[in-house]
């Protein structure tokens, strides 16, 4: 009986092994297709906007527009300095009433200077923001078209304060290429060289910097 059971088990195992040998093996997995590398570019976007021929022209025109107000602030600042020096030089010979009068005059001039300087800064900042945003939106469109043409899947702004870019080779920097593409599209010629000193360099009221923001793509743009 035991021998018969052992024979039955042996035959069963043999049949199972034969069936397994006749079952076709699963096809080997095909090797994965070679992934195409993702092209990534970097750009100093604010620099690109400022370096376009149109940007250089428009920013220079804005400074010229504000030159009379800069001259006014310079004259008012010089007047305050002159009155202050006079009061210091004549302090020993002036009566208390005269000192009070001259001090009050200087204080009035200083308040006027501060008020006029703040108004000029506010107006200049607002107008330059408007100018920058309008131009930046157009430069953005040129950048997008260039990136799509060259097959870039991602463009990072390395000029942003919180930029994630720690290193990039020069071959990935498309700033100049975008500037050249925009200049060609706009047709604006390169402006003549500007004087080294800016319009606001002598007044103590610095011109406001352009905003460090990258415009969002316009609705419907591709």
Q: Return the domain boundaries, the chain.
A: 38-186
13 vs 68, higher pLDDT: 68
Q: Which CATH architecture has domain 38-186?
A: 2-Layer Sandwich (3.30)
Most confident of 22-26, 32-36, 44-48, 188-192: 44-48
Say how far apart CA 151 and CA 147 lie, in whole Å: 6
Say how far apart CA 52 and CA 182 lie, in whole Å: 7
**pLDDT number for residue 192:** 84
Say whether 20 sits in a helix, a strand or coil: helix
Say whether 156 sits in a helix, a strand or coil: strand
Residue the block writes with tokens 């920058």: 132
Question: Averaged over 44-71, what is the pLDDT?
Answer: 96
- Give φ, ψ of 41 to 5 degrees: -125, 160
Question: Averaged over 68-75, what is the pLDDT?
Answer: 96
Say whether 154 sits in a helix, a strand or coil: strand
Q: What is the pTM of this model?
A: 0.69
Q: What is the pLDDT of residues 43-57, one digit of tens each?
A: 999 999 999 999 999
212 vs 192, higher pLDDT: 192
Task: Say if CB 55 and CB 194 are below 8 A apart.
Answer: no
**pLDDT number for residue 196:** 62
Task: Say if CB 174 and CB 94 are below 8 A apart.
Answer: no
For residue 131, give the nearest of 208, 188, 58 by alpha carbon: 58
For residue 215, give the nearest of 146, 151, 160 by alpha carbon: 160
**pLDDT number for residue 215:** 57
pLDDT grade, residue 188 (50/70/90)?
Answer: very high
């Amino acid at each position: 009986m035991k021998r018969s059971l052992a024979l039955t088990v042996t035959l069963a195992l043999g049949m199972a092994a034969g069936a397994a040998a006749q079952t076709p093996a699963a096809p080997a997995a095909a090797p994965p297709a070679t992934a195409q590398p993702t092209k990534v570019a970097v750009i100093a976007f604010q620099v690109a906007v400022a370096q376009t021929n149109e940007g250089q022209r428009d920013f220079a025109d804005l400074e010229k527009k504000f030159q009379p107000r800069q001259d006014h602030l310079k004259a008012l600042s010089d007047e305050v300095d002159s009155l202050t020096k006079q009061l210091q030089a004549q302090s020993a010979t002036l009566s208390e009433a005269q000192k009070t009068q001259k001090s009050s005059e200087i204080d009035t001039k200083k308040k006027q200077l501060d008020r006029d300087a703040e108004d000029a800064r506010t107006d200049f900042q607002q107008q330059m923001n408007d100018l920058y945003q309008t131009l930046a939106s157009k430069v953005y469109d040129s950048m997008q078209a260039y990136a799509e043409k060259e097959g870039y899947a991602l463009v990072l702004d390395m000029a942003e304060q919180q930029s994630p870019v720690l290193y990039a080779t020069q071959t990935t920097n498309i700033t100049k290429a975008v500037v050249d593409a925009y200049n060609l599209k706009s047709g604006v010629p390169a402006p003549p060289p500007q004087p080294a000193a800016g319009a606001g360099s002598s007044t103590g009221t610095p011109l406001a910097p352009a905003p460090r923001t990258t415009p969002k793509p316009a609705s419907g743009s591709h």
